Chain A
Amino acid sequence: MSRRLSVFLQGLVIENPLAVIMIGLCSALAVTTSVANGIGMSLAMTFVIVASELIISLFRKLIPESIRMPIFIIVIAAFTTMVDLVMKAYFPELSKAMGVFIPLIVVNCIIMGRVEAFASKEGPLDSTLDALGMGLGYTWVLVGMAVVREILGNGTLLGFPIMPESYQPILFFVLPPGGFLVFALFISLNQILKKKWLESPLGCPDPEGGK
């Protein structure tokens, strides 16, 4: 498998930011009470990570080693502010539902971690692919959790009722404890997927020699 493709696929299952590296969890658990919020958060997050990785990768040779952290933070904060203001202007309801979690993208460890570990060393194309892979890995867990929680906890999907009328919504799943429980099951699912993936012919050899 080509190197580019494997860079992109790493983020999906093997190095899934949420289920394997376990960073950036706050937003994932908090906004997944409805599918619309999950999709909105994933898009915002993917935009910020792709834009930040691209910009930092382009300027990686100009950024002095000793002050790289503050520079990374400023770049990420600038893109987060853009997303925050755009959402407030065009999607006020979504922005209200997610509240503090949009500004909190700025301290989302996934972005800081990838920028530091990947974009500050690799070229712009690879960095963009890595960011897209990470964004997609984040998205599938987030949207998956939101689907489970909204259907079980509210009986709806994207706001449309899909369960039979006799269905009594299990409120537990939209409350905070349900978020923890559904997330536990998703990590478990990802562990199984990861094992299958590494055994299959598609599985790329682990770059760090299989830990």
Chain B
Amino acid sequence: MPVTLKIFIAALLINNIILMRFIGLCPYIGMTTDVKQSIGMGFAVTFVMVMASTVTWSLYYFVLVPLGLEFLQILIFILIIASLVQLVEFYLKKAAPALYMSMGIYLPLITTNCAILAVTFDNITGGYTFIQSIVYSVGVALGFLLAMLLLAGLRRRVRTSAIPAFLRGNPILFVLSSLIAVSFMGFAGLIK
């Protein structure tokens, strides 16, 4: 199996960012009350994640490393992501109002989404090349979308089921996630 495909599958299923690594749990719990909403959020995250990876990777290797400023990584990356999201928002508002209507409301929320920041750090610590980092971010983002969709679908069923009193409300969501995570562990043997 080619390395890039391995990276993609590992990011999508085996190390699913939400279910296996617990990153990006806030939108996972907060934005899955409705299937449509979770899809919107998922695609907005995909878009921003790929862009953020591209920009932060280039910046790290072409600016921070030559100048010896690696210790500023956290500060610079979070600022880059915040301003990038703002720019995208302005651009979409002007150039593609239809897309903005469907995706725009999620964009401000993404700035402080740990999934985006985590992926940009992973690209550096994993030592990926430029192409690999893009493949990795697409894999992670689709994994995020998949997990969001699964929970959103299950939450529909939960609304009409009888749940033990001590698990009503938020606890049941985590019990569900636990069960989804168990099934995702089955993917662990996919890559040798």
Q: Which residue of A lies closest to B28 (CB)?
A: A25
Q: Which residue of A24, A30, A104, A176 has the most chain B CB atoms within 10 A of its CB atom?
A: A176
Minimum CB–CB distance from A45 to chain B (whole Å) comes to: 13
Residue of chain A at shortest CB distance from B166 = A188
Interface residue? A156 (CB, 8 A): no
Give the residues in chain A near B175, CB-CB below 8 Å.
Answer: 180-181, 184
Is the CB–CB distance between A25 and B74 below 8 Å? no
| Contact assessment for B174 and A77 in the assembled complex, using a CB-CB cutoff below 8 Å | no
Q: Does B71 contact A (CB under 8 A)?
A: yes
Interface residues of B in 165-189 (CB under 8 A from A): 166-167, 169-175, 177-179, 181-182, 185
A180 near B20: Cβ-Cβ < 8 Å:
no
Quick check: B185 and A30 within 8 Å, CB to CB? no
Q: How far is the CA of A123 from the CA of B23 in the complex (A)?
A: 33
Inside 8 A of B179's CB, which chain A residues have their CB? 177
Q: Is the CB of B121 within 8 A of A30?
A: no
The answer on a CB contact under 8 Å between A107 and B117 is yes
A23 at interface, CB cutoff 8 A: yes
Contacts A85-B71, A109-B112 given: A25-B177 contact, CB under 8 Å?
no
Complex Cα distance, B78 from A178, in Å, reads 31
Query: Residue A193 at the B interface, CB < 8 A?
Result: no
A179 within 8 A of B: yes
Q: What is the CA–CA distance of A191 and B172 in the complex, to the nearest angstrom? A: 13
Contact of B29 among A22, A77, A80, A176 (CB under 8 A): A22
A180 to B175, CA, bound (A): 6
Given contacts A77-B75, A184-B175, 19 further A-B contacts (CB under 8 A): A22-B26, A69-B82, A73-B78, A73-B79, A73-B82, A77-B74, A81-B72, A100-B118, A100-B121, A103-B117, A104-B118, A107-B78, A107-B113, A109-B112, A176-B181, A177-B182, A178-B178, A184-B167, A192-B166
Q: What residues on B are CB-neighbors of A84 within 8 Å?
A: 74
**B79, B125, B178, B185 interface centre (most CB from chain A within 10 Å):** B178
Interface residue B42 (Cβ < 8 Å from any Cβ of A): no
26 sampled A-B residue pairs with Cβ under 8 A: A24-B26, A25-B26, A25-B29, A26-B24, A26-B26, A30-B21, A30-B23, A69-B82, A77-B78, A100-B23, A100-B121, A103-B73, A103-B117, A103-B121, A108-B114, A109-B112, A176-B22, A177-B178, A177-B185, A178-B178, A179-B178, A180-B175, A184-B171, A184-B173, A187-B174, A188-B171
